[in-house]
Amino acid sequence: SDDIIAGNVSKYIVLPVGYCGQPKKGHLIFDACFESGNLGRVDHVTEFEYDLFIRPDTCNPRFRVWFNFTVENVKESQ
């Protein structure tokens, strides 16, 4: 989709659809709230699959040729 992604995710916890409660090990935490971070949105697909939406470069909105973000709270073998 060509939805406009305005800002970066900031300590965004991705929970499975319908999950209620505190995040557990394996519920990934994405962060791009730092200089040069460019992760705009994260969608949970399965336990091991996520759709990541990278924001376009400020000076060149046609291209998305790099990415910079962190991932925390992984579990072994994930």
The tens digit of pLDDT for each residue in 2-57 reads 555 667 888 999 998 899 999 999 999 999 988 788 899 999 998 889 999 988 87
What are the structural domain ranges in the chain?
1-77
Whole-structure pTM value: 0.79
In the chain the first and final C-alpha atoms are separated, in Å, by 28
Could you identify the residue written with the tokens 């394996």?
26
Q: Minimal CA–CA distance to 67: which of 34, 38, 25, 24?
A: 38
DSSP 8-state assignment for residue 25: T
Per-residue tokens: 14: 């991705």
- Sheet strands (E) in the chain: 12-13, 29-31, 39-46, 49-54, 70-72
